[in-house]
Amino acid sequence: MIPENTGPAAVIVLAAGAGTRMKSRTPKILHEIGGRSMVGHALLAARSINPRQLAIVVRHERDLVARHLSELDPAAVIVDQDEIPGTGRAVEVALHALDGEQHLTGTVVVTYGDVPLLSGQLLAELVATHEREANAVTVLTAVLDDATGYGRILRGDDGTVTGIVEHKDASDAQRLIGEVNSGIYAFDAAVLRDALTHVTTDNSQGEKYLTDVLGLARQAGGRVAAVVTADRWQVEGANDRVQLSALGAELNRRIVEAWMRAGVTVVDPTTTWIDSSVTLAEDVRILPNTQLHGATTVARDAVVGPDTTLTDVTIGEGAKVVRTHGSGAIIGPDAAVGPFTYLRPGTVLGESGKIGAFYETKNVTIGRGSKLSHLGYAGDAEIGEDTNIGCGNITANYDGEKKHRTVIGSGVRTGSNTVFVAPVTVGDGAYSGAGAVIRKDVPAGALALTVAAQSNTEGWVAANRPGTRSAELAQAATPDSSSTPASTEEGNQ
């Protein structure tokens, strides 16, 4: 008897197939839904039942797939399938690789790398039934309206499972059966090992069928049973991009629904896309057309959207992020971002700070209460607390070869269209005038001006644009205007 808290002896994930219907240079199981590769989902489900060993069988695009797998799950054993085709052969080579000095004993679970919605919970249920009933084989099945292409579950008069017949090998009568093989099973290791030595390639596809193990196990006197799931999505594979998007939409529907049940308001679930890796707190509000990806986390009472795409962004309590495209950013509590804002990696906005409309930020730390309200670029910079950056300010951080830093203190007020030519430092409490080009450090409390004289040439329009609407309006505004242009010069500001 296996103690309750111990997982199965092994999970074997089959992933050697070519997946030609994806029509892709990317191996099928590396295609993503919900921000994670299909095989990534499969490995998470497999790991969640705590197997003592986890093997994954590869062949097609072997090196690409193996590299991805060793990043996701370095402890997984990567097994190469040989020339002999078929799911039975795939499991046979995996079993051989896992059998050490001593053969594996206990439960061996087989799943696929391209069935991304399978949950660890359903796998655990399969294993629990298998072990409780002391079965030789327990197969996960589903009843489908259209079972075309699937292996069909054969049952005796008493309802017990007697075997599986592949669609291509099935009689017309067998093809009417709606109960299908998901390809996911729990086996007794010894039964599986023994039966596989008797499986041949004598069938319409010339493959070693894993499905033949059921009939063989029964002949050997073992109990074969099925767990029927009512949730067909959990056993559905993605063979082409149409199925991939359908599975992606269903996964998203489930993720969004789970967050709503956990206390998140999602105004429009159909236009809200949340990766399985995202974390949301209670009383977060997500407005329509919002995509949250990667390691994004949103704290309580924050409002995100509409029309916002965030990847690896951390949002503090009560912050508001509207119509924003961002990645690798940290937004402090009660801060405000948007609309039409582009946050690039390394953006850190302090508590109650603001990055407003048409701003691009990168690699910038903005202190508490500081505001960059409209039209500008802040990159490679540090801005203190309670500073107000005027409209249209730019950190000119790039000299064509290197990036340089701009350091702006606390309590600073900058005039519209100030340009900071980095490297440059502005002290606490300093001011700058409109259009200032800051090339030299500004001491604390100073006013920085770069003043170019303004010249007005009077009567210029009448002389140079006669007969235009401008000339006509200018004349009406200055009834005694002389026809001779006159210049005046004066400093502005």
Contact footprint for ligand UD1 (CB under 6 A): 14-17, 57, 81, 85-87, 89-90, 112-114, 150-151, 164, 166, 180-183, 209-211, 237
Residue pointed to by tokens 């402090």: 332
Nearer to ligand UD1, 170 or 383 (CB): 170
Shortest approach of ligand UD1 to residue 23 CB, angstroms?
A: 16
Q: Confirm whether 96 is a catalytic residue.
A: no
DSSP per-residue string spanning 84-131: S-SHHHHHHHHHHHH--SS---SEEEEEETT-TT--HHHHHHHHHHHH
- Cβ of residue 81: shortest distance to ligand UD1, in angstroms? 5
Q: How far apart are the C-alpha atoms of 126 and 146, rounded to whole Å?
A: 24
- CA pair distance 461, 477, nearest whole angstrom: 13
In 3D space, the residue among 87, 63, 75 whose CA is nearest the CA of residue 15 turns out to be 87
Least CB distance to ligand UD1 at residue 236 (A): 8
CB nearer to ligand UD1: give 15 or 280.
15
Kindly tell me which of 185 and 359 has the beta carbon lying closer to ligand UD1: 185
CB of 140 to ligand UD1, least distance (A): 10
Residue 438 CA to residue 453 CA, distance in Å, equals 17
Residue closer to ligand UD1, measured from CB, 90 or 335 = 90
CB of 136 closer than 8 Å to CB of 160: no
Would you give the distance in Å from CA 187 to the centre of its chain? Answer: 34
Point out the catalytic residue in the list 41, 130, 374, 404. 374
Q: Kindly tell me which of 15 and 274 has the beta carbon lying closer to ligand UD1.
A: 15
What are the DSSP calls for 214-268, one per residue? Answer: HHHHHHTT--EEEEE-S-GGGG----SHHHHHHHHHHHHHHHHHHHHHTT-EES-
CB 384 within 8 Å of CB 408: yes
Q: Are 350 and 332 in contact (CB under 8 A)?
A: yes
Least distance CB 72 / ligand UD1 (angstroms): 16
- Report which secondary-structure segment, H or E, holds 475: helix 469-477
- Shortest Å distance, C-beta 8 to ligand UD1: 19
Nearer CB in complex with ligand UD1: 16/217 = 16
With respect to ligand UD1, which residue has the nearer C-beta, 170 or 322?
170
Tokens of 180: 């299908």
Q: Which residues, 6 or more positions from 227, have their beta carbon under 8 angstroms from its beta carbon?
A: 125, 126, 129, 138, 139, 140, 141
Phi-psi group of 52: left, alpha or beta (phi > 0 → left; psi -120 to 50 → alpha; rest → beta) = alpha
Mark 251-265 as b/e (b = at least 16 C-beta within 10 Å).
Answer: bbeebbeebeeeebe
Q: Shortest distance, CB of residue 200 to ligand UD1, whole angstroms?
A: 13
Which positions are annotated as active-site residues? Answer: 374
